[in-house]
Structure 1
Amino acid sequence: MKFCTSCGSELREGVKFCPSCGKPIQAESQPQPTVNQPVTPPPPPVYQAPQQTYEEPVYGTAKHTNLIQRAINIIIKPKEEWRVIASEKPDTTKLLVGYALILAAIPAIASFIKFGVIGVTYWGYTSRSIAGGIQYGLVQLLSALIGVYILAWIIDLLAPSFDSRKDFGRSLQLAVYSTTPQWLAGILLILGTSMSILVLLIGLYAIYLLAVGAPVLKGTPKEKVVGYVVVIIIAMIVLTLVVALIIGTIIGLFFGAKMMGM
């Protein structure tokens, strides 16, 4: 039963106007059936590996200053310097050309000066040869650069076996910077091959740098550092001897052919 909202008179079903006051009767709106909208499931969560924040090293006009400071720091305070290196983005070009090539040139130049300028004395006779000096220098330089790259490759190849991260950029950082003392000690080669043993002993400090840097750059567990480093060194010695022999033979044949043609 409905009633007029204006005068209160009773209204019959279907009337459009109130019979008493004439007010138009509005049709009641029929409720629309509720349509259940399909519920869209939320997107699955996306998990992202934490990204390490890198600090790009400043090379520009202060390139040589940074190189010298890095070489000093990695020798006198390696634990602190490895953490600084860990914040830098590995760059193969800067590591090999901007650092390794420059330091590896030290023993190469020393060898050239000794054999090509100063000369080597045997039984009272001094032998010197510019061609020989260049030959020794090239062998030193190429062996150093190829050797450090092989060292990085070995470090990265063996990483999973010692629960370490497989990252060639980090392996190259570890190889290049840990070889610093050996390259710097190469200046002693200017005094002759008798200094080679001393250079080798000083270069042993590189093993310590390698052991300190592996947990920082490669995440090597402390209990596996010694085994990791020992295997790296053994493999490196064998491969370095092979590479040096091959390079020496090739360069020797090249210079021999040049001299034969003169």
Structure 2
Amino acid sequence: MVMDILARARNLLLSPSAEWRIIAAEATSVERIYRDYVLYLAAIGPIAGFIGTSLIGIDGARIGLVSGLVLAFLRYVITLAMLHVMAIVIDRLAPHFGGRSDFLSAFKLGAYGMTAAWLANVFTIVPALGLLAIVGLYSVYLLFAGAPVLMRIPTMKTPIYTIAVVLIGLLLNFLVGSVLAALLAPPFFPG
């Protein structure tokens, strides 16, 4: 299974056009994609973040182990839930851009499109290298390359569709982050 995950990630990063065609033809399910791919790659960020903030720290400052574990768990659960929400967004927007509505294809696009971002989270293990996680922006290109294949978005409308999906994703992440920051701020979540 690990080899399948690595092969899929490598192929998406190095030859996304060919890999998207393979993904489009695969008979699978949302549950299988979660179980065989997402659960592993989505864990990279929370684990790396826990190591970086609780064990290594920034300029010697670290958060407590319990707080770090709770935050890592919350981040993981939110990542899994946000993927599902983004698949709904991808699916519902597609017809407005000349594409088709197909939730499984939308979920494939969201899940596999996040590959670069999830892998780039490894840099957060060392907080000083966290800025290197910007290479995860390649996921925007993966979304762009996969949208015409999976959602049948016309080539001329793919850039604006991609921008719309990314902006909605950023807005949702901001809103969820703001709510979490408010809920986890002292005195509700003592260090």
TM-score, length-normalised on structure 2?
0.90
Query: In the alignment, does 2:54 pair up with 1:116?
Result: yes
Contact 1:86–1:217 (Cα < 8 Å) also in 2: yes
**CA–CA separation in structure 2 for the residues paired with 1:232 and 1:151:** 8
Instruction: Report the Cα distance in structure 2 between the residues aligned to 1:106 and 1:132, rounded to whole angstroms.
Output: 18
Which structure is larger by alpha-carbon Rg, 1 or 2? Answer: 1
Does structure 2 conserve the Cα–Cα contact (< 8 Å) formed by 1:211 and 1:225? Answer: yes
Query: What SS class does the counterpart of residue 219 from structure 1 fall into?
Result: coil
Aligned pairs for 1:62-73 (under 5 A) are: 63-73=1-11
Task: Identify the structure with the greater helix proportion.
Answer: 2
Q: For 1:156-214, what per-residue CA distance to the aligned partner results, in whole angstroms no more than 9, with x for missing partners?
A: 1111101111001000000000100111111110111x444321x21211111111111
Task: Assess, with a 3 A threshold, how the Cα gap between structure 1 residues 255 and 130 changes in structure 2: closer, same or farther.
Answer: farther
Gaps of 5+ in 1: 1-62
Cross-structure match for 1:53: none
Residues 246, 77 of structure 1: CA spacing in aligned structure 2 closer, same or farther, 3 A cutoff?
same
Contact 1:115 1:136 in 2 (8 A): no
* 1-structure distance, mates of 2:27, 2:178: 34
The answer to whether 1:239 aligns with 2:169 is no
Change (3 A) 1:195 1:151: farther
State how 1:190-205 maps to structure 2 within 5 Å.
190-192=125-127, 194-199=128-133, 201-205=134-138
> Is 2:85 the partner of 1:150?
yes
Partner of 2:153: 220
2:9–2:115 CA contact under 8 A, matched in 1: yes
Question: What is the RMSD computed on CA atoms of the aligned residues?
Answer: 2.1
Summarize the Cα distance change of 1:247–1:102 in structure 2 as closer, same or farther, 3 Å threshold.
farther
Q: Is the 8 A contact 1:115 1:132 kept in 2?
A: no
Specify whether residues 166 and 221 from structure 1 end up closer, same or farther in structure 2 by C-alpha distance, changes over 3 A only.
same
- Unaligned 5+ segments in structure 2 are none
Which has the bigger relative contact order, CA under 8 A and spacing at least 6? Answer: 2
Per-residue deviation, 1:248: 4.5
Mapped contact 1:115–1:130 kept (Cα < 8 A): no
Instruction: State the partner residue of 1:19.
Output: none
Say if 2:55 and 2:62, in contact at 8 Å, map to a contact too: no
Q: CA deviation at 1:145?
A: 1.5
Preserved CA contact (<8 Å) 2:100 2:153: yes
Work out whether residues 56 and 126 of structure 2, in 8 Å CA contact, stay in contact via their aligned partners in 1: no
Distance 1:103 1:254, change over 3 A: farther
Moved more, 220-229 or 128-137: 128-137
Question: Cα 1:208–1:93, aligned 2, differ >3 Å: closer, same or farther?
Answer: same
Name the amino acid aligned to 1:83.
R
Equivalent pairs counted in the alignment come to: 191
Aligned partner letter, 1:185: A
Residue 121 (structure 2) pairs with residue 186 (structure 1): yes
Cα deviation, residue 252, structure 1? 5.5
Identity, % of aligned pairs?
31
Task: Determine if contact 2:41/2:119 at 8 Å carries over to the other structure.
Answer: yes
Indicate yes or no: 2:33 matched with 1:99. Answer: no
User: What letter corresponds to residue 117 of structure 1 in structure 2?
Assistant: L
